[in-house]
Amino acid sequence: MAGKTKKPKLILVAKKGQQHKPKPASKALIDKGRKYYTHAYKPRDMIVDRGKGAMVWDLDGNDYVDFGAGISVSSLGYGSSELIGALTAQAKKIWHTSNIFFTEPPIRLAEELAKASQFARRVFLTNSGTEANEAAIKLARKYAADKGKLPENREIISFTGSFHGRSLAAVTATAQPKYHVGFEPLPPGFRYCAFNDFEAIEQMVSENTCAVISEVVQGEGGITPAAPGFLKHVQALCRKHDALLILDQVQDGMLRTGKLFSHFAEEGVVPDVVTLAKALGGGMPIGAMLIGERAENTFQFGSHGSTFGGNPLACAVARVVLKKLQTPELVKNVAARGKQLTTALAAINKKHALFAEIRGRGLMIGAELAPNFHGKAGEIGELCRHHGVLVLQAGPNVLRFLPPLVITDKEMREGITRLNDAISAYIISKK
């Protein structure tokens, strides 16, 4: 509803009866969540209740176009009959056995991932992207140790703006100081280089380097793609110094950028390790580390483990997801919907001059705010929620768009309409 003052704090127009405040039953549940959760998260004041396609509904019945997909996780949207069928069929058979025994779904998934990747010889299954990156860090250190390198000669290089997870080693590999504060002393052996700086990385990689880890498109770092030729340059340096090239595709992999594996966009890039998670399970918790020929025998019995890694339920679902992500229809949809969204963002920007730059690939798009709107990504995102569209942020200055890959033309148009309404309201409120 319209505010009484000239400069309303948040919302000018509610969509389809959506309210600024949740109803009493939802409010009570939210309060209980805030009481019993740690303060590690700051959820919005809504209870997500159900979903279908690219739409979700809260407990109060309000609908939202989801432009976030659970942070690039719900690749096939919500309510997929194929995923539900795969999950329930496996649930009727067996849920868990541990890695002391084989089950069929993880064997099948490992084979399918290896073949689809065009480089992998071995697969280690995990529960998350952080775990996949942790495994990759251990693999790189073990690879160097097997080559006779001393501990002080097993450095791992990552890039400023990167994000590789929240465990202690993965967060240390994350070259963003804000994630390090309070967790010192951090594990040694990590160095940071400017992203897309050809000269800087050439100066840094040496005989002391055991691996370089990089995203193809930085997610938390603001939806920043690797510059043309940069990954090939890093690859050549790794080969020269017998270091592993690790590509973290937890967020940008699995067709998110328009390619099944995001490094497929640059011819000649052949990583030694790729880490996956998020979209691979379509909402089920699963991650994977794919290992190429150079390091395929590095992990031996006892080198690493995961109690729930390769869970048959998650793997049964992931097999369906992986197959779906390779269909021509979905590949075409990602390209078409990505163009549709970037075109709409450009039109919004022409009208309001809100963005300094719109960048990304496929359905991984970042809109960097113009300098006079710096620090307002969270505020704008919250206003979007009140207008019935869920968007993310990548830092305080970038609106991040990661819709389900199956989002339809109709759903995209509705989301764009709501986004335009929210931004128009925001601009008006600042005048």
Into how many domains does the chain fold? 2
pLDDT at 430 (0 to 100) = 84
Same domain, residue pair 332 and 297 = no
Which of these three, 325, 358, 386, is where a domain ends?
325
Same domain, residue pair 89 and 235 = yes
Same domain, residue pair 107 and 123 = yes
Average pLDDT value over all residues in the chain: 94
Same domain, residue pair 152 and 223 = yes
d(CA 136, CA 317): 24
User: Is residue 4 situated within a structural domain?
Assistant: no
Which of these three, 279, 303, 325, is where a domain ends?
325
Which of 367, 223, 262, 278 is CA-nearest to residue 70?
Answer: 278
User: Is residue 348 situated within a structural domain?
Assistant: yes
- Per-residue pLDDT tens over the stretch 239-252: 999 999 999 999 99
Same domain, residue pair 28 and 161 = no
- Per-residue pLDDT tens over the stretch 11-35: 444 454 455 679 999 999 999 999 9
Same domain, residue pair 174 and 273 = yes
- Name residues of the chain where pLDDT drops below 70: 1-20
- How many Cβ atoms sit within 10 Å of the Cβ of residue 151? 10
- What's the CATH code of the domain at 250? 3.40.640.10
d(CA 297, CA 143): 9
- What's the CATH code of the domain at 358? 3.90.1150.10
- Per-residue pLDDT tens over the stretch 331-374: 999 999 999 999 999 999 999 999 999 999 999 999 999 999 99
Per the CB < 8 A criterion, the answer to whether 74 and 64 are in contact is no
pLDDT at 18 (0 to 100) = 53
User: Is residue 274 situated within a structural domain?
Assistant: yes
Distance of CA 184 to the CA centre of its chain: 26
CA angle 202/163/51 to nearest 5° reads 145
- Domain containing 155: what range? 81-325
User: Is residue 2 situated within a structural domain?
Assistant: no
Same domain, residue pair 321 and 332 = no
Which of these three, 325, 348, 380, is where a domain ends?
325
Same domain, residue pair 116 and 212 = yes
